[in-house]
Amino acid sequence: MTGMARQNEPARHSEGAQRPKNPAASCTGHQILRWAQNDGRARLALCLGLLLAVLSCHEEPSAVPSTVSDVVERGPFKLTVEARPQKVWIGDPITVDLRVHTPDGHLVRFPDVQEIEGVAIGDVKTGDPRPAADGGLDWRQSFTLEPFRSGELQIPALTIKYARKPADPDAQPRFEHELTAKSLQITVRSALTTQDSVQKPRDITGTLLPPRPPMSPWRMALIAGVVAGVLAGAYAAYRLIRRHRSRPPPPVLPEVWALAALTELAGLDWFERGRVREYYYRLTEIVRRYIERQFGLAAPEMTTQEFLSTLARNRSALPYDTERLRAFLEACDIVKYAAYHPLPKHAEEAMRAARAFINATAIAVRQTAPPRVAGGGRKPTGGQAA
């Protein structure tokens, strides 16, 4: 052996002799500094090396584990108990996982987790064994806990039992061996503050609703379209109502207007009030206005003689007996201008004469049916226009 070692030594020396020399590897620290001062790239490499050394010395703070666990091994048997999270609020679920690894040909009995006190047990799930990657079987059971009180919660030590699978399928396995994990500690926090008391709870506050999600663009467009449609409909309805209200009422026929005015005039007792002359003035004014509206003659602007002379020159201008109209107008002028005091029966006769004139001429106009003119009158058939 010694001879062989000595034979190998020259080979190692000769191999080292053939390698190129590295000045940075064989020099002292003082020589490295002098070499770095003479080479710019060496200075940059030296600065980077010092920076990496400083960063490697910084220790990051250790993160708080989010789970607590315990592992128990006995030969090829292994029990792992894990609980998460390590810190919870009252009512939050705690998930506990039990994982067991056994050789082939063994059975496992998990503990009865319903016996744990002080917590609510839920969602106990026991899976079928599965072949492990490195041989054997993997068994698993998981369940959840919901704590009722704040403080430190101790999950008691959990024990699993295992036994060899009997050769006889009808025989019961004898679970004589077991693995027990240590208890796990979970911190349960409460939403109550130091100023709260269980005996004197605070009043219930209003419901805190989550913020409403932003409105989608298509919904905003739909709302804008509906609003625009409502405004357009309201504006159209406003224009329609305004146009309907601004439309002038249909013209009143001259005979309708005149007969209504005579009825209103006859409803007043002019004789008892001593206003007989005013009665005759209004009576003749109604007849003259009717002639102007119906036939287009300017009767209100003419005297009785001027009006009768116009009719004498153009008898077709008025479809009525001129002598009867003359008698009516002259009888009224005597009262208006000659201070004649008629009897009530004379006033009634004058009213009947006016009504007869209006009815007779209206019938004659409807029979001939000449075209209407603006203002409710008809196109004049002759004579002077208003």
Q: Secondary structure of 199-268 in the HEC alphabet? A: CCCCCCCCCCCCCCCCCCHHHHHHHHHHHHHHHHHHHHHHHHHHHHHHCCCCCCCHHHHHHHHHHHHHCC
Spatial contact of 23 and 35, defined as CB atoms under 8 Å apart: yes
Report pLDDT for 49: 67
Q: pLDDT tens digits, residue range 271-294?
A: 887 888 899 899 999 999 999 988
Which residue did the predictor score with more confidence, 168 or 363?
A: 363
The pLDDT value given to residue 8? 40
Pick the more confident residue, 369 or 121: 121
What pTM, to 2 d.p., does this model score? 0.38
**Percent of the chain topping pLDDT 70:** 74
- Specify the residue for token string 């607590």: 68
In single-letter form, the type of residue at position 82 comes to: E
Q: Per-residue pLDDT for 316 more than 60?
A: yes
Answer yes or no: is pLDDT of 203 > 60.
Answer: yes
**pLDDT of res. 9:** 40
Mean pLDDT, range 146-169, rounded to an integer? 84
**Could you please report the per-residue DSSP string of 285-324?**
HHHHHHHHHHH-B-GGGS-HHHHHHHHHH-GGGSSS-HHH
Q: How many CB atoms lie within 10 A of CB 240?
A: 10
User: Mean pLDDT over residues 349-359, rounded?
Assistant: 92
**Residue pair 180/159 in contact by the 8 Å Cβ criterion:** yes
Residue 143 to residue 81: CA distance in whole angstroms:
12
What pLDDT is stored for residue 231 in this prediction? 93
Closest by Cα among 83, 81, 103 to 162: 103
The pLDDT of residue 31 is above 60: no
pLDDT, tens digit (0-9, with 9 covering 90-100), for 293-307: 888 888 788 888 888
Average pLDDT over residues 246-252: 78
* 14/298 Cα distance (integer angstroms): 150
Contact in structure between 386 and 296 (CB atoms under 8 Å): yes
Per-residue confidence (pLDDT) for residue 194, from 0 to 100: 66
68-189 classified as CATH 3.40.50.2000: no
Q: What is the average per-residue pLDDT within 162-191? A: 85
| Encoded amino acid at 77, one letter | F
Domain boundaries, the chain: 68-189, 254-368
Residues 6 or more apart whose CB falls under 8 angstroms from that of 200 comprise none
Provide the β-strand partners of residue 80: 71, 99
Among 85-99, 240-254, 336-350, the minimum mean pLDDT is found in 240-254
Res 310: pLDDT: 84
pLDDT at position 23 is: 43
Confidence (pLDDT) at 7: 40
Give the pair of three-digit tokens for residue 359.
């009815």
Dump pLDDT digits (tens) for 69-109.
Answer: 999 999 889 999 998 998 888 878 889 988 999 998 888 98
- Say what the pLDDT of residue 40 is: 59
pLDDT score of 214 more than 80: yes
For residues 9-32, give the mean pLDDT. 44
Q: 279, exposed or middle or buried, with CB in 10 Å at 0-12, 13-18, 19+?
A: buried
Mean pLDDT of the chain: 78
385 pLDDT more than 90 = no
Predicted local confidence at residue 287, as pLDDT: 92
pLDDT tens for 114-143 read 767 667 887 788 888 989 888 888 989 898
- Alpha-carbon gap, residue 179 to 71, rounded angstroms: 10
Could you tell me if 296 and 378 are in contact, meaning their C-beta atoms sit under 8 angstroms apart? yes
Instruction: Determine the average pLDDT of the residues in 150-168.
Output: 85
